[in-house]
Structure 1
Amino acid sequence: MNKLILYSAAVLAAGAIAACSPLTVVNAVSPAGTVTATAAIPYGADPRNMLDVYRPAANADKAPVVVFFYGGNWVSGKRADYAFVGRALAARGFVVVVPDYRLYPQVRYPDFLVDGAGAVAWTAREIARHGGDPQRIFLMGHSAGAYNAAMLALDPRWLGRQGLQPAMLRGWIGLAGPYDFLPVQNRTTQPVFSAPDTPADSQPVRHVNASSPPALLIAANDDSLVNPARNTGGLAGKLRAANVPVSELYYDGVTHTTLVASLSSSLQKLAPTLDAVEAFIRAGGRAP
């Protein structure tokens, strides 16, 4: 197993799997185990408005729910590539929703947030049919997906379109998220956010208030893509100043990419990410 972990980490670090791109190797080394899945459930009208649900094989009944948004710089990604996240969290007893959402160039900011809110609304309406508790919904995301989760949890405009409010969430979890990135420097990201005319209120740090849901923010110290001090540390500071429960964790030995890979049941030795996420959820949004 140690050789498998080292090999998989080496493949990731070598760039065979680019940051937030399809994690084929990780899925390959992450067995389904005692998890069942229901695939390709529509939550909206667009072909990208589809989601998969993962749940414990033993019949779940009012289990905590995690809606996971993947990354990919808002230009790439597909839910099937993150089956390992659904499997790992479902194996811990949670019901997991992994939605696709529209990407650039089909859409720009804020349309992918509209999609994310639609996926959350579907979850609130339908997840009880899959053994989940609609009163215990957590949002979670990695990289661009962590941004999506943050905006849905902090900016009431998006869930408000669905007749919901961030207060309906038990908490949210961000892995290596960009929460404060103006002016937009990344050339791939610039057209997604219509730079240089990116609206200031596109940034999660602008929407923190005392009623924001509890947060668990995790980052890799060795992250060359999203600055952990400015983004994770900066947002955590604002949440703390507003008296919002927040825990921030920084791990050595992982990168922007391998941080999300450490959620895999076969790669947990890379970092204790999965344990921290489970502790946060089981504590109802309290610090692990």
Structure 2
Amino acid sequence: MTKFTAALAALVAGALAATPILAQQRAGRLSENCREELIALCYEVDEADRAAFRACLRERRAEIPDECKAELRARIEARGRQGSLETRPEGLRPTAKPTRSVLYGKDARQQVDVYEPEGAVDPLPLVLFVHGGGWRMGNHKLVQVKPAHLNAQGYYFASTGYRLVPDVSVAEQAGDIGAALRALRGQAGAIGFDADRIVLMGHSAGAHLAALVATDPKYADEAFHAIRGVVLLDGAGYDVKAQMASAAPEFWQVYYNAFTADEAVQEAFSPVTHVGGKDAPNWLALYVADREASSAQSEALAERLRAGGVEAEAVAVEGTDHGRMNREIGTEAGGVQTREVDAFLARVLG
């Protein structure tokens, strides 16, 4: 066993206060994306069983993304010793298990987990979630309490995986979301949801992908008409060119990894480029009130969508941050975003 492997299990849970990613990295701490990726790998293990959680992480070490391994090495070096295994941050552990999975490709990430409401009277609408992670990381298993909350509201919930940069392009990622949507609709009768009443919901990079699919019909193809609405959670990539022009160097690198320095590529994969054609009819863009990038991008997207003739609202959420915006939906702590999402879904899918 290598020194890294031996130290890994003592560091991976990372129950740290949610702070900006860059600040965490500078302090030798794990970024939120890395923490959530690691937690998602062993999400079925009881958080109180620390030995089992350590064993799971050792067993699945090969699945840890390279970026996260690099962070772990840096943190191990910074601490110079093994720490105790900390429990998972509140709200990260799922409170429901998927009732089935739908495969839409050969890659392990090309699958969708479906959560069915208990005692569902078919057909009910479906909310399809797209995870974040800077286009390079993320895990569709990490859904926190969203399935339980949305099931209780009378919706099927599904969370889709997709292949990651640099193995595929952003265009292929959007194609994966479209393929997931078509595969779900192909099994709607067997699953029990209404194939023509679907809302896309995405967080961070997932918000960008959801917005791209919902403004450019080629990705979803014949399934596009089923998208009744879109919920975007603190995205900042709706106009990639504008974002890269003003981003700090560290964040610019995240976008460069996904969109390159070619402005034509940046524009082609910006949802704002496609607004005004055939867009999904209803939009809710939530953003962290004091996060300038997502504020500007969300307001600009909503304004352009309204000018294109569809219903769109951008709403600032106070007292939260980029990660909590997503993971606290359905909890008391996330009351503001939960109420906004619930009201939007009731209006669009009711």
2:194 maps to 1:194: no
Structure number having the greater strand percentage = 1
- 2:279 is aligned with 1:212: yes
The match for 2:314 among 238, 248, 259 is: 248
Unaligned stretches of 5+ residues in structure 2: 1-13, 40-87
Question: What per-residue deviation string (whole Å, max 9, x for no partner) do you get for residues 178-213 of structure 1?
Answer: 211215342122122122355222100111126422
**Structure 1 CA distance, aligned partners of 2:17 and 2:226?**
40
Residues 21 and 145 (structure 1), Cα distance of their counterparts in 2 relative to 1, 3 Å cut: farther
Of the candidates 236, 239, 262, which is equivalent to residue 305 of structure 2? 239
Which structure shows the higher helix fraction? 2
**Which residue of 2 is the match for residue 11 of structure 1?**
17
1:211-254 CA distance string (max 9 Å, x none) = 42210111111226xx1332100001101112211122101101
1:41-92 deviation line (CA, Å, top 9, x unaligned): 3121222111111121223411110110010001001111224332332232
2:340 & 2:33 partners in 1: Cα distance? 21
TM-score normalised per structure 1: 0.84
In the alignment, residue 109 of structure 1 is paired with which amino acid?
V
Gaps of 5+ in 1: 1-7
Q: What SS is found at the alignment partner of 2:142?
A: helix
For residues 274 and 213 of structure 2, the distance between their equivalents in structure 1, rounded to whole angstroms, comes to: 10
| Counterpart among 104, 107, 113 of residue 174 in structure 2 | 113
CA separation of 1:82/1:125 partners in 2, compared to 1, >3 Å: closer, same or farther?
same
The residue number in structure 1 matching 2:229 is 171
Deviation (angstroms), 1:38 = 2.4
Name the stretch that deviates more: 270-279 or 241-250: 270-279
Q: How does 1:1-288 map to 2 (within 5 A)?
A: 11-13=17-19, 15=24, 18-23=31-36, 24=39, 25=88, 32=95, 35=96, 37-160=98-221, 163-164=222-223, 166-177=224-235, 178-182=237-241, 184=244, 185=247, 186-199=252-265, 200-209=267-276, 211-213=278-280, 214-223=282-291, 227-263=293-329, 265=330, 267-284=331-348
> Matched residues in 2 for 1:20 and 1:91: separation?
28
Work out which of the two has the higher radius of gyration on C-alpha atoms and give 1 or 2: 2
1:106-146: per-residue Cα shift (whole Å, max 9, x none)?
A: 11221101111111111211133222111111111001001
3-state SS of paired residue (2:255) = coil
In 2: Cα distance, 1:262 partner to 1:76 partner: 20
Higher relative contact order (CA 8 A, sep 6+): 1
Q: Which moved more, 1:44-53 or 1:23-32?
A: 23-32
Contact map agreement 1:22 1:81 (CA 8 A) in 2: no
CA contact (8 A) 1:95 1:130 kept: no
TM-score (norm: length of structure 2): 0.70
Return 19-28 or 181-190, whichever deviates more: 19-28
Return the alpha-carbon distance in structure 1 between the equivalents of residues 15 and 279 of structure 2.
35
Deviation larger for 231-240 or 52-61: 52-61
Letter in 1 for 2:275: V
Q: CA-atom RMSD, angstroms?
A: 2.6
| CA distances 1:130-188 after superposition (whole Å, capped 9, x unpaired) | 2211111111100100111101110112112xx33x33211111111121121534212
Aligned-pair identity (%) = 26
CA offset digits 1:1-20 (Å, max 9, x no partner): xxxxxxx9972237567344
Q: Separation in 1 of the partners of 2:238 and 2:91?
A: 31
Structure 1 position 97, deviation (Å)? 1.1
